[in-house]
Structure 1
Amino acid sequence: MRFLKVLFLLIFVFAAFAAHAQSSAELKHQREELTKQLEELNHEYQETVNNKKATLKQLNLLKQQIGLREEKIKNINSEVHNLDNQISESNNFVHNLQSQLTQLKKEYAAMVLFTYRNQSAYNKLMFIFAAKDFNQAYKRLKYLQQIGTYRERQAGYIQETQTELHVKIDELDKSKKEKNNLLIDQEKEKETLGVEKNNQVQVVADLSKHEGMLKQQQQDVQKKIAKTNREINAAIRREIEEARRKAEEQARAEQRAAEAKAKAENKEVAVIPKVRAITKNSTTSEVLNATPEAAKLSSDFLGNRGALPWPVTNGSVKQGFGIYTDNEGIKNESYGWDIKTNPGASVRAVFQGQVTRISNVSGTFLVVIKHGEYFTAYSNLRSYTVKEGQKVSTKEVIGTVATDATTGEAIVTFDLYKGMTPVNPRIWLAPN
């Protein structure tokens, strides 16, 4: 029973350590990824510093660095917390093993003493022959044999417990050293974070000298965003109206054909069911899916939700979908994703469809593609390689991203609409 208790304790503790190890491994991986991103940002930031001129790009890079640095410090805190739990559990485990070892040694010493006192072969024979009958004598013989076996087993338990105790003590020392290294790394990160925040203050002070120019730049960006949204909405609205017009014309043509056929056959005029007819009261979805081809394309697009490729092969989300606050503390709303990528990167269609609109928006281009009742829009393109009415396939290149002369960043804006309603690309694009 004592052995079973020890075995159960070992299994429980090993399971707990395995869970901690998995969590610690994930945190370590996250810390390594954050360190890699920080190194890339720092390299990019140093390039802007070497230009000896404070720019919006410097400020944006510093903000990203500070955000990642704070996230890394939070990650280290989680790792330290995990290690504290591990160390506490290891201490408890070591204490239990030491108690168990002490008890095993005590029992073993008593057993050795008993054996020593009864080691005489004469005493053993007397113990056996003093039995009342043969059955009791046999049992006494087996008892003496079991004592020897049990003593050997107890010696094995003691040796195993000592070995396990040494292993756990080594692991405990290793965890303590790892925690100490993490705390040193955390202090370095905090110092670097302080430097970056001071740099941010300095850059903001330098940029404040050009406040008027910067505000004008920001206003120009907001105007461009608003104009892009208007162009997208107008393009989708035109497609809806065009689909409605074609559907109504087809319904009227079918009605006229039915009337002509009925007249020729001298029969009562058949009326096209209202289910098939598109009217002013029809929903946007019904209008855009009026044809079998459009309905199938919509279904295929929906079937790929969560698996659509990104509009660029290499990129990260700089501004997500929804309400956000800009540098001036003003709330804005993003209807898509601003994806930062490499300068001159190719922009591609995320699904097969038809190009319905190409517009020039303040010097850069917007491409809108129709996928049944769904639409995707790609803006801030330096150039485009498609034309209106052209059918494109999934991942087909439609243009190249433009690079902002002020910030030096190459950002493509990707919007996704169901009819006139913008939807969050996060639930549609595959994990990057």
Structure 2
Amino acid sequence: MKFFKILFFLIGVFIAVNAHAQSSDELKRRRDKYNEELQKLNQEYEETANNKKSSLKQLNLLKAQINLREEKISNINSQVRLLDNQISESTNTVHSLQSQLDQLRKEYAAMILFAYRNQSSYNKLMFIFAAKDFNQSYKRLKYLQQFGAYRERQAQYIEGTEQDLHVKINELDNTKKQKSTLLVDQVKEKETLGKQRKDQVQVVADLSRQQGQLKDQQRDLQRKITRTNQEINAAIRREIEEQRRKAEAAAKAAAAASAAAGIPVNKNVTVSKKTITKSSTTSEVLNATPEAARLSNDFLGNKGSLPWPVTNGVVVQGFGIFVVEGIKSENNGIDIKTNENAPVRAVFEGKVAAINNVYGTYIVIIIHGEYFTVYSNLKSVSVSQGQKVSTKQNIGVAAMESASGIPKVNFQLWKGSTPVNPKIWLVPD
């Protein structure tokens, strides 16, 4: 029983260490990506700032850097917490190994003293021949042999424990150095973040003085956002009503078939093992068929691990309400700055429900059972309405946003007729 307890403990330690290593590696990978993206954004911003004239592009680049820097600071905080746990665990291990080493040395010292007092061959022989009989003599002889072997093993244990202790102390020192480096980086990032927030205020002020340029650009952007949201809302409502119409038509056909067969007609007709009525919810309608229900479950099962709609990008405007120059706007998704002419891809398998053109750029809406994904501000599209698409299939190309001069894609995710924050559904960047 004791053996199994030790075994389970060691397995638990192994799993914890492995999980810690994966978590630490993932945080480092993200921090490296943040550094790479910040470097690119800073280069673009410097090129824009050299024009000596504030622009909406400057403002958007600043916002992108601020958002990314805040995420990096959060990442550093997570790494510091992880290192604090590692330091605590390593410190406990060092104390434990030190205690073991002290105990082993005491026991070894006692053995050496005993061996010294009984080092003569005469004493050993007297110890053996003083036995009552042959069996006892044999046992005493084996005891002396085992005692010598045990003493050698104890010496090896001491040496091994000293080596383990040395390794752990080095690991602890390295971890403390990593933490110190991270804290220095954190202070630097917070200082830069504060400076960029001041720069953002200055850019807004400069733009405001340029005969309302920012307001004009923001109003144009707001008009496009409003029109885009209207088109998306209408397209999703049409798709839901179309699914309801199909379900009701199937219900009528089933009722007619039942009547022809002499079966009493029931207002609640089961279609594909789901009962569809006039009062059925949007969720029930969109999951009316087994295929749609499977797709919904698969989509939900991938929450937090969906691929990004572009291979390279950074979020420049998050989900929800935001205000620029006193003009309030609402983002039903996230704006992702990407590369010019970057391919845009479907984040999950589904069917193209609608393709619309708003002020010269395209919107693609894909249905995944109960869920919809929306990709707007596309320069061109490579799919057609009603076409089935697979995960990561290219559906179009990102367009340059006219107001900011930045290649950008707006990505939305709807559950039925309600928009939800899509970022928590995507794989962590």
Name the TM-score class by shorter chain: 0.7 to 0.9
Partner Cα distance (1:316, 1:272) in 2: 57
Report the counterpart of residue 40 of structure 2 in structure 1.
Answer: 40
Deviations 1:201-240 (A, max 9, x none): 3323322313723223222322222223333444455667
Partner of 1:344, secondary structure, is coil
CA positional deviation for 1:378: 4.5
Report the counterpart of residue 156 of structure 1 in structure 2.
Answer: 156
Report the counterpart of residue 331 of structure 2 in structure 1.
Answer: 334
Larger radius of gyration between Structure 1 and Structure 2: 1
Kept in 2, the 8 Å contact 1:284–1:419? The answer is no
Kept in 1, the 8 Å contact 2:355–2:362? The answer is no
Partner Cα distance (1:157, 1:370) in 2: 65
Decide which moves more: 378-387 or 129-138. Answer: 378-387
What runs of 5+ residues in structure 1 fail to find an aligned partner?
1-5, 263-267
Structure 2 letter corresponding to 1:214 = L
Partner of 2:44, secondary structure, is helix
Report the counterpart of residue 341 of structure 2 in structure 1.
Answer: 344
The alpha-carbon distance between structure 1 residues 351 and 281, as it changes in their structure 2 partners (threshold 3 A), is same
Partner Cα distance (1:70, 1:252) in 2: 56
Partner Cα distance (2:8, 2:104) in 1: 17
What runs of 5+ residues in structure 2 fail to find an aligned partner?
1-5, 271-275
Decide which moves more: 34-43 or 194-203. Answer: 194-203
Partner of 1:380, secondary structure, is strand
Alignment of 1:213-252 (within 5 A): 213-235=213-235
The alpha-carbon distance between structure 1 residues 32 and 164, as it changes in their structure 2 partners (threshold 3 A), is same
Partner Cα distance (1:147, 1:97) in 2: 24
Q: Which has the higher contact order (CA 8 A, sep 6+)?
A: 2
Report the counterpart of residue 52 of structure 2 in structure 1.
Answer: 52
Report the counterpart of residue 389 of structure 2 in structure 1.
Answer: 394
Partner Cα distance (1:353, 1:21) in 2: 40
Report the counterpart of residue 192 of structure 2 in structure 1.
Answer: 192
Structure 2 letter corresponding to 1:305 = F
Report the counterpart of residue 141 of structure 1 in structure 2.
Answer: 141
CA positional deviation for 1:156: 1.7
Structure 1 letter corresponding to 2:185 = D
Does residue 380 of the first structure (1) align with residue 377 of the second (2)?
A: yes
Alignment of 1:95-134 (within 5 A): 95-134=95-134
Kept in 2, the 8 Å contact 1:298–1:374? The answer is no
The alpha-carbon distance between structure 1 residues 68 and 368, as it changes in their structure 2 partners (threshold 3 A), is closer
Partner Cα distance (2:76, 2:256) in 1: 75
Kept in 2, the 8 Å contact 1:353–1:392? The answer is yes
CA positional deviation for 1:42: 1.7
Structure 2 letter corresponding to 1:394 = V
Kept in 1, the 8 Å contact 2:54–2:203? The answer is yes
Report the counterpart of residue 401 of structure 2 in structure 1.
Answer: 404
The alpha-carbon distance between structure 1 residues 160 and 310, as it changes in their structure 2 partners (threshold 3 A), is closer
Partner Cα distance (1:386, 1:82) in 2: 45
Deviations 1:164-200 (A, max 9, x none): 2222232233223333333333343334334333433
Report the counterpart of residue 182 of structure 1 in structure 2.
Answer: 182
Does residue 172 of the first structure (1) align with residue 169 of the second (2)?
A: no
Does residue 302 of the first structure (1) align with residue 299 of the second (2)?
A: no
Partner Cα distance (1:185, 1:153) in 2: 48
Partner Cα distance (1:139, 1:303) in 2: 71
Kept in 2, the 8 Å contact 1:312–1:347? The answer is yes
CA positional deviation for 1:109: 2.8
Kept in 2, the 8 Å contact 1:127–1:140? The answer is yes
Partner Cα distance (2:253, 2:11) in 1: 78
The alpha-carbon distance between structure 1 residues 108 and 275, as it changes in their structure 2 partners (threshold 3 A), is closer
Kept in 1, the 8 Å contact 2:336–2:410? The answer is yes
Deviations 1:41-76 (A, max 9, x none): 222222322333212222222222223223323333
Alignment of 1:278-297 (within 5 A): 281=278, 295=289
Decide which moves more: 410-419 or 159-168. Answer: 410-419
Kept in 1, the 8 Å contact 2:375–2:412? The answer is yes
Kept in 2, the 8 Å contact 1:352–1:391? The answer is no
Report the counterpart of residue 273 of structure 2 in structure 1.
Answer: none
Partner Cα distance (2:249, 2:198) in 1: 67
Structure 1 letter corresponding to 2:296 = L
Kept in 2, the 8 Å contact 1:13–1:93? The answer is no
The alpha-carbon distance between structure 1 residues 186 and 315, as it changes in their structure 2 partners (threshold 3 A), is closer
Kept in 1, the 8 Å contact 2:356–2:363? The answer is yes
Partner Cα distance (1:141, 1:248) in 2: 95
Partner Cα distance (1:320, 1:314) in 2: 17
Partner Cα distance (1:249, 1:155) in 2: 86
CA positional deviation for 1:407: 0.8
Report the counterpart of residue 69 of structure 1 in structure 2.
Answer: 69
CA positional deviation for 1:152: 1.6
CA positional deviation for 1:275: 5.4
Report the counterpart of residue 325 of structure 1 in structure 2.
Answer: 322
The alpha-carbon distance between structure 1 residues 376 and 272, as it changes in their structure 2 partners (threshold 3 A), is farther
Kept in 2, the 8 Å contact 1:354–1:392? The answer is yes
Partner Cα distance (1:29, 1:228) in 2: 35
Structure-2-length-normalised TM-score? 0.73
CA positional deviation for 1:136: 3.1
Does residue 209 of the first structure (1) align with residue 203 of the second (2)?
A: no
Deviations 1:240-284 (A, max 9, x none): 77788899999999999999xx9xxxxx9999865579x994658
Fraction of identical pairs, as percent = 59
The alpha-carbon distance between structure 1 residues 177 and 10, as it changes in their structure 2 partners (threshold 3 A), is farther
Deviations 1:87-145 (A, max 9, x none): 34434433443343333333323322322222222222222222333333333323322
Structure-1-length-normalised TM-score? 0.73
Query: Cα RMSD (Å) of the superposition?
Result: 4.8
Report the counterpart of residue 265 of structure 1 in structure 2.
Answer: none
**How many equivalent pairs are there?**
413
